[in-house]
């Protein structure tokens, strides 16, 4: 009888783009620098095999990382595999591929000695260039065979008898997690087991993934190798290859050469599109929705912080924090950009002005074409041009100012209500306004509604950064060191007083430090944390390039955050605010500042000595 060597059809993989997207997410968010192999899953669709393919595909997609998402069925067989993701392209290239294949094949072989249905598996080595969105990978389905063993075809292939074919299909339908069964001499089909009388065995019934009429799947080698160990006396046997596709099931008569079961040899690396044994590279930057790429890429540097430098950094609290920026000028623009860099996704900008010709060179969210547009709206639109998925809104609003009498009550009441709604609907408020009296009402409302309030103010060559105290702590606000109530400072200003006259770099310094203080505060709400200290105030001086950390307590007679003010606002709401705007003396009387001033004046008349710390002095504790 003429014998010919058995040739097999290689396994082919199909890797969906969603597989790489999920790999990117897991690498960034969970695995970091770890190179431990992770378990993944795939499936073989035995029914729907493309006519141009030599075998059914090993499918890999987003569901491959969760075994519960891949359901097995009689014609959809699930496989377990391993993924080894390298940390660098150099590591991927230098990895000993043959040794890796042998290690994975040995593991499968060891499991198959206990259960022949475990003789099939797969592994992937990969490297994800998350900056360029290029993925390098190589799939292997480890195949093993003893070095001196040969498998020859004695007869066939020939079609399987129709009645046996039907019986075999029913058997695999009832045992769809099995790959192999034993066919007895009497034609019965039994689950594969060891210890049977070799003379009672006619052959093996095997699920076949090949799409070639005269060539079985490469997996056959693994099954035959295990069978030859379990039944060394069996030298000739029939192999029934069951197929669920349009290709007919076939039978082969094979012969196994004499073997001493020496060293195993392993193969199984997949060939690329040029039929070469080489890895593949996929550039997904042009294939995936650019918005999805952008969404993952904008957080890349932040998530890399957690890999090695700051693993305990909480990025979600920054991402989910809703930030309200009052003032869309130089400070507001730089603050918004810094917040975006930290991954903040919800930003609302408020301003009452329009972009002037002098703004674009100093305020980075504006261009020459924005001149004349509403500042807040133009700034929000600019943020969305930078990152389309950000939730950025611009609100044109006049904030009622203490010391500026009400002229149109209906309009100012609407402005007040809008401001209250904005503050209540956000978690954090940045006070970046031009004057002290503009900051008074937001300061009061921020304390009353227990919001995080970050304050930044500029001088010519100095700046102040401050986080206001909330209801639970005793830190002071922007007005706690004042012994006077803010009044109208805008009327009668000269040009150099109406414009922000400051060294250009000061705003960048102040905005960046305000955002850094905000982020540190979120990590632990005021205590030292993974990012370091979280001071109450920072004062910077560019003339001698020094920075001071300061701390001042809340003032019982503060014109903005004292209990007298908060209680009265709680009782009267808008009516309280209206009276404060119209009557310069009302807040001074209510807060107790007038009484303090009178006591000081009386002490001076009586010849006592007292030092008054006004708003221009540094009456702070340096820490």
Euclidean distance between CA atoms 331 and 431, whole angstroms: 9
pTM here? Answer: 0.80
Confidence at residue 413, expressed as pLDDT on a 0 to 100 scale:
96
Catalytic annotation on 534?
no
The count of other CB atoms within 10 Å of the CB of residue 312 is 9
- pLDDT tens for 432-490 read 998 888 999 999 999 999 999 999 999 999 999 999 977 667 889 999 988 888 776 65
Whether a cis peptide bond, with omega within 30° of 0, leads into 303 is no
Q: Are 191 and 91 in contact (CB under 8 A)?
A: no
Query: How is the chain split among helix, strand and coil, in percent rounded to 5?
Result: 35, 25, 40
Query: 576-590: b or e for each residue (b if 16 or more CB lie within 10 Å)?
Result: bbbebbeeeebbbeb
CA nearest to 532, candidates 542, 523, 540: 523
- pLDDT tens for 300-346 read 889 989 898 988 999 999 999 999 999 999 999 999 999 999 999 99
Euclidean distance between CA atoms 472 and 32, whole angstroms: 37
Please give the share of the chain, as a percent, with pLDDT higher than 70: 89
Tokens standing for residue 218: 């490469």
Residue-averaged pLDDT of the chain: 86
- pLDDT tens for 265-312 read 999 899 888 888 999 999 988 777 788 778 878 888 899 898 989 889
Confidence at residue 52, expressed as pLDDT on a 0 to 100 scale:
55
Question: Comparing 74-78, 80-84, 542-546, which segment has the lowest mean pLDDT?
Answer: 74-78
Q: Are strands 280-283 and 322-326 parallel, antiparallel or unpaired?
A: unpaired
Confidence at residue 74, expressed as pLDDT on a 0 to 100 scale:
61
Confidence at residue 612, expressed as pLDDT on a 0 to 100 scale:
45
- Helix runs in 361-452, H state only: 375-386, 409-424, 436-448
CA nearest to 466, candidates 507, 531, 513: 513
Phi, psi angles (nearest 5°) of residue 215: -140, 120
Confidence at residue 614, expressed as pLDDT on a 0 to 100 scale:
45
Confidence at residue 384, expressed as pLDDT on a 0 to 100 scale:
96
Query: Between residues 188 and 431, which one has the greater pLDDT?
Result: 431
Element holding 572 (H helix, E strand): helix 563-572
Q: Which fold has domain 4-283?
A: Cytidine Deaminase; domain 2 (3.40.140)
Q: Which fold has domain 300-555?
A: Rossmann fold (3.40.50)
Euclidean distance between CA atoms 61 and 130, whole angstroms: 18
- pLDDT tens for 23-63 read 998 998 899 898 889 999 988 877 666 555 556 778 899 98
Domain limits of the chain?
4-283, 300-555
Euclidean distance between CA atoms 25 and 527, whole angstroms: 31
Query: 549-559: b or e for each residue (b if 16 or more CB lie within 10 Å)?
Result: ebebebbebbb
pLDDT class for 72, splitting at 50, 70, 90? Answer: low
Confidence at residue 245, expressed as pLDDT on a 0 to 100 scale:
58
Element holding 114 (H helix, E strand): helix 97-114
CA nearest to 306, candidates 31, 537, 597, 604: 31
Angle (CA) 135 136 142, round 5°? 130
Confidence at residue 526, expressed as pLDDT on a 0 to 100 scale:
60
Question: From the candidates 317, 344, 480, 499, which is the catalytic residue?
Answer: 499
- pLDDT tens for 195-252 read 888 888 898 998 888 777 777 888 888 999 999 888 888 888 888 988 875 667 888 8
Find tokens 């001149």 and name the residue. 371
In this chain, the answer to whether the domains covering 4-283 and 300-555 adopt an identical fold is no
């Amino acid at each position: 009888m003429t014998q010919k060597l058995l040739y097999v059809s290689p396994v082919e993989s199909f890797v969906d783009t969603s597989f790489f997207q999920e790999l990117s997410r897991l690498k960034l968010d969970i695995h970091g620098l770890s190179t431990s192999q992770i378990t993944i899953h795939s499936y073989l669709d035995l029914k729907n095999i493309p006519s141009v393919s030599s075998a059914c595909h090993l499918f890999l997609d987003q569901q491959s990382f969760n075994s519960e998402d891949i359901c097995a069925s009689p014609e959809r067989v699930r496989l377990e595999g391993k993924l080894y993701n390298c940390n660098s392209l150099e590591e991927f290239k230098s990895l000993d591929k043959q040794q890796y294949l042998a290690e994975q094949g040995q593991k499968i072989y060891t499991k198959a000695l206990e259960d022949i249905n475990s003789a099939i598996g797969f592994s992937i080595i990969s490297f994800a260039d998350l900056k360029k969105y290029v993925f390098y990978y190589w799939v292997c389905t480890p195949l093993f065979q003893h070095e001196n063993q040969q498998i020859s075809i004695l007869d066939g292939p020939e079609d399987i008898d129709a009645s046996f074919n039907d019986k075999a299909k029913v058997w695999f339908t009832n045992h769809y997690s099995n790959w192999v069964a034993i066919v007895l001499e009497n034609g019965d089909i039994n689950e594969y087991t060891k210890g049977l009388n070799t003379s009672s065995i006619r052959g093996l019934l095997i699920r076949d993934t090949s799409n070639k009429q005269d060539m079985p799947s490469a997996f056959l080698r693994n099954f035959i190798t295990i069978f030859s160990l379990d039944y060394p006396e069996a030298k000739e046997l029939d192999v029934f290859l069951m197929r669920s596709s349009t290709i007919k099931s076939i039978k082969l008569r094979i012969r196994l050469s004499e073997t001493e079961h020496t060293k195993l040899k392993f193969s199984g690396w997949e060939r690329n599109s040029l039929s070469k044994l080489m890895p593949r590279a996929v550039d997904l930057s042009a294939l995936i929705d650019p918005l999805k790429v952008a969404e993952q890429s904008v957080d890349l540097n932040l998530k890399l912080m957690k890999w090695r430098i700051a693993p305990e950094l909480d990025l979600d609290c920054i991402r989910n924090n809703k930030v309200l920026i009052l003032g869309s000028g130089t400070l507001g623009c730089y603050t918004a950009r810094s917040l975006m860099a930290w991954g903040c996704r919800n930003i609302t900008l408020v301003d009452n002005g329009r972009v002037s010709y002098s703004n674009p060179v100093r305020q980075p969210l504006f261009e020459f074409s924005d001149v004349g547009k509403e500042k807040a709206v133009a700034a929000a639109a600019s943020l969305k041009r930078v990152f389309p998925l950000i939730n950025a809104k611009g609100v044109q609003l006049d904030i009622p100012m203490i010391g500026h009498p009400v002229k149109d009550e209906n309009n100012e009441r609407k402005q007040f209500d809008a401001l209250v709604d904005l503050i209540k609907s956000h978690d954090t408020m940045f006070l970046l306004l031009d004057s002290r009296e503009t900051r008074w009402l937001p300061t009061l409302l921020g304390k009353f509604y227990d919001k995080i309030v970050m304050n930044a103010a500029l001088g010519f060559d100095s700046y102040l950064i401050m986080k206001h105290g909330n209801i639970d702590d005793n830190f002071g606000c922007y007005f706690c060191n004042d012994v006077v109530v803010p009044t109208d400072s805008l009327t009668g200003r000269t040009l150099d007083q109406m414009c922000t006259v400051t060294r250009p770099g000061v705003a960048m310094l102040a905005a960046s430090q305000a955002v850094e203080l905000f982020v540190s505060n979120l990590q632990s709400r005021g205590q030292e944390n993974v990012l370091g200290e979280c001071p109450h105030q920072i004062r910077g001086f560019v003339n001698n390039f020094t920075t001071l950390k300061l701390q001042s307590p809340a003032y019982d007679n503060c014109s903005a955050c004292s209990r007298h003010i908060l209680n009265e606002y709680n009782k009267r709401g808008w009516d309280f605010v209206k009276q404060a705007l119209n009557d310069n003396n009302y807040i001074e009387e209510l807060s107790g500042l007038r009484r303090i001033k009178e006591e000081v004046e009386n002490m001076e008349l009586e010849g006592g000595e007292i030092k008054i710390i006004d708003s221009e002095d540094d009456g702070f504790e340096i820490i």
